Amino acid sequence: MLSIKNWDNKTWISSTKYIKYFNNFLFKQKKLNKESKILDIGCGRGKIIGSLSTKLKLRNKPIGLDIENHKDKDKRIIFKKISAIKYLENNKKKFDLILIKQTIHFFNLRDMKKILAYSLSSLEVGGIILILSLDTKNNEIPTFSLMKQKLNQSFKRDVIIWKNILQLNIKKNITKFNFKVNIKKKVYLKMIKQRYISTLLKFSSVQILKGVNEINLKYKKNIIFNDKLNCIILKNK
């Protein structure tokens, strides 16, 4: 599996404003308290669940899974460098919230079905699985031409996985997450160079440089757009 090192490193996703906004969105989907048990699949540096731990004064540290072991990961979480399937198939714990945020594109359909099956069996009564992924129809992520082409290819797989999730015979809600981003162009260009999104991981240095030049010509000093995510909430009655 490909690994992203810079997705949540000095981007809008790692900002205090974003994390607070996302947590407020999360609290609307599920009532949580200091006794809540939380698992984050594909946690990155764990800043989102780390902030939840502080805000809720969690008795149990939230658990974050990722295949990339960042040196600057959040110390408020229990981090496990392990694949989701490997962890879940041996898991005996029950969770009130399982977060799968912007991660489904890393899995094929068979593995995603396994992850969901294991996750559902790992929920407390009344627990939820919160799945978020980039909006495939109205996506506004700033791209250069080749990046957009590859991103659209990735979206095709996302759509297939999304349809399969929607077909699950379980109580579910569908909603949207929308965060307005205002970022300096030079900061975003640096993110492109660091290959902050999985679409860029296999691009050559020449392709990245061409993309940077394209975006530099396309935008002025600031880049303003909406970071739009589709969201499905699966519920354990």
> Chain centroid to CA 228: how far?
12
- Between the alpha carbon of residue 2 and those of residues 5, 83, 97, 118, 192, the distances in Å are 10, 12, 25, 22, 17
Position 225: which residue type?
F
pTM score, whole prediction: 0.93
Reading phi first (left if > 0) and then psi (alpha if -120 to 50, else beta), residue 36 is in: beta
Which residues are CB-contacts of 168 (< 8 A; sequence separation ≥ 6)?
116, 234
Give just the sign of the alpha carbon dihedral 32, 35, 39, 45.
positive
The stretches in the chain having pLDDT less than 50 are 1
How many beta carbons lie within 10 A of that of residue 4, not counting itself?
A: 21
Q: What is the pLDDT of residue 5?
A: 58
Q: What is the 3-state secondary structure (H, E, C) of the chain?
A: CCCCCCCCCCCHHHCHHHHHHHHHHHHHHCCCCCCCCEEEECCCCCHHHHHHHHHHCCCCCCEEEECCCCCCCCCCCEEEECCHHHHHHCCCCCEEEEEEECCHHHCCHHHHHHHHHHHHHCEEEEEEEEEEEECCCCCCCCCCHHHHHHHHHHHHHHHHHHHHHHCCCCCEEEEEEEEEEEEEHHHHHHHHHCCCCHHHCCCCHHHHHHHHHHHHHHCCCEEEEEEEEEEEEEECC
Determine the Cα angle at 231 with ends 43 and 143, to 5°: 75
Q: What is the pLDDT of residue 14?
A: 86
Q: What is the pLDDT of residue 71?
A: 84
Q: What is the pLDDT of residue 58?
A: 97
Q: What is the pLDDT of residue 37?
A: 98
Q: What is the pLDDT of residue 146?
A: 97
Token pair 């799945």: residue: 131
Domain segments of the chain as ranges: 12-235
Report how far residue 211's alpha carbon sits from residue 203's, in angstroms, rounded to the nearest whole number: 10
With contact defined as beta carbons under 8 Å apart, do 186 and 220 qualify? no
Q: What is the pLDDT of residue 68?
A: 86
Q: What is the pLDDT of residue 105?
A: 87
The CATH homologous superfamily of the domain defined by 12-235? Vaccinia Virus protein VP39 (3.40.50.150)
Position 204: which residue type?
S
Token pair 């994390």: residue: 19
Q: What is the pLDDT of residue 122?
A: 97
